Structure formats: C-alpha cells, structure tokens
Amino acid sequence: MAKVYLATDIGPRRELNEDIVADLGHETYVVADGMGGYAAGEVASRILAATIRDALAAESSFDEAVLKQAILRANDAILQTVRENPRYSGMGTTATIFHREGGEIVWAHVGDSRLYLLRNQTLSQISRDHSLVSDLVANGSITQEEARSHPKRNVITRAVGVETELDVDTGAFSTADGDILLLCTDGLTSVVPDEEICSMILASPEGEDVAKRLVRRAIEVGSHDNISAIVVKFDE
C-alpha cells in the first residue's frame, strides 16, 4: 500500500482552476494542466481525466501501451468536443500519469507537467518537458536558470487535444523500498526549485499532507498560476 496526498489550488491570481489532480484507482494517478480561453482549459483537463478513467476501467493490467492509448483516447475526445463547440477552439491540456503494477511503475506523459522520483534523498525528473525552454536548454542556447525566468517559459510544444497526431512519451522502472513519487504542474515547479521541493518532502513529518504543503509554498513565493501536486509514498 501507499500513502497518497493530492492537492490543487487556484492560486492568488486566476479566476479558474484549470489544473486537475485525480486518483483513478488501481494505484493510478494523473495531473493535467488545461489551457485555452473562455474556461476551455478547465473543460480540456476534465475531459482528459474522465476519458482516462473510463479507458482504464476496461483494462485489467496497465502497461505503457495501455496508458498511451488512454491519452490518445482523451486526445480524440477533446478534439471531438472542439468540433461540436467551436468556442472551445484552441483548448488543450498537459497529461502526466503513472501506475504501479507490482514492483514496477509505468508512466505516460505529454506537456510540461512533471513526474519526479525521490529515491536515496535525491529528486530526479523522470518526464521530459515538452516546452520551448526545455528545447533551448537541451541545445545549449540557455541555461536551466535562465529557463526559469524566460519570457516564453509557458510555451509548450506538445499538448493533448490540439492535433489529431500526438506523440506520447512513456516509460517504466522498478520501484525500491521508500520511493516517493511526485506529480505536479508548472505552477509549482516554475517557482519552487527542485532542491527545495526535495528537502521539503524529506523533512515532512509522518502524516503531514505534504502535497498541500508544497502548494502552499508555491503561493508563499508568489506563484500566479494554478498549482497542483500529488505525492505518493510507498511503504518501506
């Protein structure tokens, strides 16, 4: 079994919370960060979570292909909603999911929300950001530090519900005793550095809602965005 903490907050400056966090059952979790005008981002992230929930309900075991297929179904469902409601044109959402199957984690990902693994007191980002600044860091044009304040840091290069063709990243790894997984949106990671996220999780006392604490920290240090986090602590 695992201890699971989920938190999401509209943040101090937004009129809507377009993020969604969900425990889909069967040790499967999702975060999504919707975008688009006229409340469309909220619609996109909610269609995504509902579609993935339905897709997975029909499955008995979840491998990378199954998670990828669930995201592709959500892609079709969002595009279909836009065809029926042109006012939602331009909406889309990030999607980052993981599932624990025995001693293995499988994950699937699109966009700039993140999956992290905290193991041996080290926080590692497992998912790769599909964002303009991530590409610029990768090709050496800017540093990681410059990326944090780059004027185009919000531009993502892949989202669910925007085009009929969608590349979904997937992966799998074995779990170890004491592993902690974090799923979060950029409302957290754009203002709270990885080192601080890591030390906050490690310092969190038994039973504290550490997801809520991370979200509160993002607000304290001035996040203008919606902020979401899911922390899953596997039993030692």
Phi, psi of 224 (to 5 degrees): -95, -5
DSSP letter for each residue of 20-72: EEEEEETTEEEEEEEE-TTTHHHHHHHHHHHHHHHHHHT-SS--HHHHHHHHH
Q: How many residues bind Ca ion (CB under 5 A)?
A: 5
Minimum Å gap between C-beta 131 and Ca ion is: 11
Specify the residue, 8 or 204, whose C-beta has the smaller distance to Ca ion: 8
Minimum Å gap between C-beta 11 and Ca ion is: 9
Specify the residue, 9 or 169, whose C-beta has the smaller distance to Ca ion: 9
Specify the residue, 45 or 75, whose C-beta has the smaller distance to Ca ion: 45
Candidate list 5, 28, 29, 33; residue touching Ca ion; CB under 5 A:
33
Footprint on residues 211-230 left by Ca ion (CB under 5 A): 225
Place of tokens 């695992």: 2
Minimum Å gap between C-beta 92 and Ca ion is: 12
Minimum Å gap between C-beta 226 and Ca ion is: 6
Phi, psi of 74 (to 5 degrees): -65, -35
Specify the residue, 55 or 91, whose C-beta has the smaller distance to Ca ion: 91
Minimum Å gap between C-beta 75 and Ca ion is: 19
Footprint on residues 134-163 left by Ca ion (CB under 5 A): none
Stretch that binds Ca ion, among 24-32, 130-138, 177-185, 191-199 (CB under 5 A): 177-185
Specify the residue, 9 or 186, whose C-beta has the smaller distance to Ca ion: 186
Do 88 and 40 form a contact (C-beta atoms < 8 A)?
yes
CA distances from 1 to 4, 63, 102, 177, 184 (A): 10, 19, 11, 12, 21
Minimum Å gap between C-beta 235 and Ca ion is: 31
Minimum Å gap between C-beta 211 and Ca ion is: 16
Specify the residue, 27 or 33, whose C-beta has the smaller distance to Ca ion: 33
> Collapsing DSSP states into helix, strand and coil, what is residue 188?
helix
> Collapsing DSSP states into helix, strand and coil, what is residue 91?
coil
Candidate list 186, 191, 218, 228; residue touching Ca ion; CB under 5 A:
186
Specify the residue, 13 or 87, whose C-beta has the smaller distance to Ca ion: 13
CA distances from 143 to 6, 136, 166 (A): 31, 8, 28
DSSP letter for each residue of 139-167: TTSS-HHHHHH-TTTT-BS--BTS-SS--
Cβ neighbours, 10 Å, residue 207: 7
The residues binding Ca ion (CB under 5 A) are 33, 185-187, 225
